[in-house]
Amino acid sequence: MSRRLLPSGDSALLVECDSLEEVLALHDALAADPRPGVLELVPAARTILVSVDPARIPLESAATWVRRIPAEAVSRVAGAVADPVTIPVAYDGDDLAATAAALAVSPEALVARHTGIQWRVAFIGFAPGFGYLVSDDWPFEVPRLAAPRTRVPAGSVALAGAFSGVYPRQSPGGWRLIGRTDATLWDPEAPEPALLEPGRRVRFEAIGAG
């Protein structure tokens, strides 16, 4: 497993991995072995930004911690840090039928697969609380919409590429909508503002479409 340490200013390192799997494994390993002075781990598709308070841990020490930490590229959903969060979904999204057809499965089979597997939040992107969810057991690659919607309602459950996600608030978006949830994904007033954060495991549960 290779990791390259790239400079990112005087209080952060950018750690580059070869694959998302390695990012997930390294993120788990770093999160499980926290060091005083390490302020934050910000994973993305190929990288983790490690930001530190240089007065408490020199960047060089943080670099040594990252270089030496053992991390096996294991299953994306192994070693869950907490119980998975369950998100109830009404699978009546506008793109469900067309997406299933494009993947050569029935809508029922697509929903069964989406609800039957455990997901993991790989990283947050696009908007506060918007988790990019991955699973070893998700076989599909879903193309984005050719023309993004200008308004995707909050709570829309969607697919794009190898990812699933839930729109935390109304926004524009090019992911394919397969359902919707009443779960609150993002509430800046709450003690835990984001339902999904990197490393969190997730299950979707089908509820009757209203």
Handedness of CA 118, 120, 126, 129 (dihedral sign): positive
From candidates 42, 112, 117, 206, binder to another protein by CB under 8 A: 42
From candidates 36, 40, 68, 147, binder to another protein by CB under 8 A: 40
CB of 4 vs another protein, minimal distance in Å: 9
Choose one: 74-82, 117-125, 135-143, 152-160; the region binding another protein (CB under 8 A). 117-125
Nearest to 157 by CA among 96, 76, 84: 96
From candidates 136, 193, 203, 206, binder to another protein by CB under 8 A: 193
Q: 199 near 122, Cβ under 8 Å?
A: no
Outline where 49-182 has alpha helix (H).
59-68, 96-102, 107-116
The answer to whether residue 183 forms part of the interface with another protein (CB under 8 A) is no
Q: 149 in helix, strand or coil?
A: strand
Residue with tokens 């509430």: 187
CB-nearer residue toward another protein: 23 or 71: 23
Q: Which of residues 122-141 bind another protein (CB under 8 A)?
A: 123-130
What is the bridge-based pairing of β-strands 201-207 and 85-90? parallel
The answer to whether residue 143 forms part of the interface with another protein (CB under 8 A) is no
Strand partners, 204: 87
CB of 131 vs another protein, minimal distance in Å: 9
The answer to whether residue 47 forms part of the interface with another protein (CB under 8 A) is yes
The answer to whether residue 12 forms part of the interface with another protein (CB under 8 A) is yes
The answer to whether residue 36 forms part of the interface with another protein (CB under 8 A) is no
Handedness of CA 127, 130, 134, 140 (dihedral sign): negative
From candidates 55, 189, 208, 210, binder to another protein by CB under 8 A: 189
String of b and e for 12-27 (b: at least 16 CB within 10 Å)?
bbbbebeebbbbbbbb
The answer to whether residue 58 forms part of the interface with another protein (CB under 8 A) is no
Give residues in contact with another protein (CB under 8 A).
Answer: 6-12, 14, 16, 39-49, 51, 123-130, 188-189, 193-194, 197-198
